[in-house]
Structure 1
Amino acid sequence: MRTLRKVAALSSFAALAFALAAAPAPASADSSKITIMVGGATKIIYLPAKLTEQLGYFKEEGLDVEIQSQPAGVDAENELLAGAVQGVVGFYDHTIDLQSKGKEVEALVIFGQVPGEVEMVATKAAGSLKSMADVKGKTLGVTGLGSSTSFLTQYLAQRAGVPSTQYTLLPVGADASFIAAIKQSRIDAGMTTEPTVSQLLKTGDAKVLVDMRTLDGTRAALGGTYPASSFYVQRAWAESHKDEAAKLARAFVKTLNFIATHSADEIADKMPKDYYGNNRDLYVGALKASLPMFTKDGKMPADGPDTVLKVLSSFSPSVKGKHIDLARTYTNEFVSSVKTAAK
């Protein structure tokens, strides 16, 4: 009986502990903290996220912001939908893809007017892979399945006449894991960003196949301006947290203005050393080449949403044939009220 009483007591204690652990935290505990998930914080295309923190602009706006990172945009998107974070720094195209699935997400600030992505071909495979028309039977690296790199890869291949059934997409992440996949010949080509592009070019392990770091290169590859890196949130959050949304937009636009009015070297001085390690010169060079991709005011380019919808509609089963209300995938409401010095 004594043993049974002990078991019962322990069971009651365990149940109480579980209930306390499962109970929601008091509203005052961290209720003001805003967590932003970045789909690869060290990627230069997402530079404004960490730079805003480094410049102290979040604090200037009275915000308590925590920046977290996931290797791929689709992982960051999942964190947002699960309610684990309040915002995401990722590609704008996710807002269109999610609307087709019944999820209301909108971009509040547009960072990049072009993807900043580059399709790199492994030097070992370059002899037989000279354009996207040659990807049949090849393995192509992307950050994650369902990520923006997979969207763009599928579109480029289809535009070159190769359907998705004739090649393999392999999620390999970014940065060091992408470089390893190239060196180990696990992928024949793959889509990545700076500074990974410059690192691969420096070592000679890969060559540029399709370059979407510039407006001209993007228009040639995709047929128009392609707004990419952005800050997006669930629409319901933006509507119920207008003050916080406005402050976040103001902080990010101040950062875009800083980028537009400072040199790559000056910007690199503001970044944590682990973002460039022992290759500061390489990082600065990659950053300098990437600066033209950033908007100065955070606004959506006029022809951007239509281009992105055209790309996704061409191959995505979830978007193709669906009515997409582009006006609900982004808003200039918050950035339009911010005055900047950049011309």
Structure 2
Amino acid sequence: MRHDTPVFPRSLAAPLRRSVRALAIGAMAACTLGLIAPQAHAADKIIIMVGGINKLIYLPPKLAESLGYFKDEGLDVELQSQPAGVDAENELLAGAVQAVVGFYDHSIDLQSKGKEVTSITQLLRVPGGMEMVRADLADSVHSMADLKGRTLGVTGLGSSSSFLAQYLAARAGLKSGDYSMLPVGAGNTLIAAMKQKRVDVAWTTEPTTSILLASGAAKVLVDMSTVEGTKAALGGLYPASSVYVHRSWMNSHKAEAQKLARAFVKTLKYIQTHSAEDIAEKMPKDYYGGNKAIYVQALKASLPMYSPDGKMPAGGPEQVLKVMAGFNPNIKGKNIDLAKTYTNEFVDAAQ
């Protein structure tokens, strides 16, 4: 007799076989119904669309990936890029991605259209960019009031850059018909549009602003890369880059939303505690635009714009709503529920 073979009394053998069979059938049914997740299956992939992944205003997602913070949270994250935030927004609405890194103001714009997205982590306290004028026009264009009959370059129609341009023009006394807007993307396509004189003024961010200034191709018209400059231009803070998701996805994926927020909060803390040189070393070399020194210089100047903790700054949503209502008739006078456009729930838990 083999001593490794268990022996049961005949009176117990049949009931035991029936119990084992019942357990096996139950387990198979549970797997079929999705009650027990097979161990071999990885976590569902989360695709994050970024409105221009090599822009410094959208640096945190790539930095989080490079530091391994998504993997530390057990997340399978894929980063994708679109040239403008409005394109990323459209991907989210189409259900092609689960999250977007783009400007918070889209959550207000979308709610006015009957769609609900919610920012779960705030990455920037200010827009982090500039309206820049072509160098050959700098003597005649001193402010947004001088743009009558001229062309403004924006990343895309319906993008946050177009929101800001329209508000600044309206604040300067211009009507929408006094100027035209041309979508020119960002980076090299924007620089080409400036050099080819297809636009007179354009919104851009680092490192493109530093490249334009270093080459002498453009000068600063309105600076919203700092807290002081943003308050002077807009009348208050303008929380910009954020991680936003469908509100329905957030409510049905609380665990994933919490892990995303924790990864981004850790990334923001890394930015606060490391030098521009350290951070640049974690980024892909093709982000440098062929000039690492300018990239590091631009990053060093940009560090104060990042949120220290991922929280929505007090008064920020109200200020963004004020700006949006200042030029958009679809928002002015409409009842916007700001409490649904952002939440600090996840970043508070991540601290």
TM-score (norm 1): 0.90
Structure 1 residue 181 and structure 2 residue 193: aligned? Answer: yes
Structure 1 residue 40 and structure 2 residue 52: aligned? Answer: yes
Summarize the Cα distance change of 1:336–1:177 in structure 2 as closer, same or farther, 3 Å threshold. same
Letter in 2 for 1:77: E
Structure 1 residue 299 and structure 2 residue 311: aligned? Answer: yes
Contact 2:49–2:101 (Cα < 8 Å) also in 1:
yes
Structure 1 residue 51 and structure 2 residue 60: aligned? Answer: no
TM-score (norm 2): 0.88
Instruction: Say what the alpha-carbon RMSD is for the aligned residues.
Output: 1.4
Distance 2:176 2:165 in 1: 9
- Between 1:150-159 and 1:313-322, the stretch displaced more is 313-322
Number of equivalences: 314
Structure 1 residue 256 and structure 2 residue 254: aligned? Answer: no
Trace 1:112-261 onto structure 2 (pairs within 5 A): 112-261=124-273
Distance 1:31 1:292 in 2: 35
Q: Which structure has the greater CA radius of gyration?
A: 2
Q: Which runs of 5+ in 2 are unaligned?
A: 1-33
Distance 2:293 2:43 in 1: 41
Structure 1 residue 334 and structure 2 residue 334: aligned? Answer: no
SS at match of 2:297: helix
Letter in 1 for 2:131: E
Contact 2:43–2:74 (Cα < 8 Å) also in 1:
no
Q: CA deviation at 1:30?
A: 7.7
Distance 1:118 1:306 in 2: 22
Contact 2:258–2:350 (Cα < 8 Å) also in 1:
no
2:98 aligns with one of 86, 89, 104: 86
Distance 1:191 1:211 in 2: 10
Contact 2:43–2:75 (Cα < 8 Å) also in 1:
no
Letter in 2 for 1:270: K
Q: Which runs of 5+ in 1 are unaligned?
A: 1-25
Letter in 1 for 2:334: K
SS at match of 2:256: helix
Q: CA deviation at 1:117?
A: 1.5
Letter in 1 for 2:107: T
1:321 aligns with one of 323, 329, 333: 333
Distance 1:303 1:285 in 2: 31
Q: CA deviation at 1:31?
A: 6.6
Q: What is the percent sequence identity of the aligned residues?
A: 68
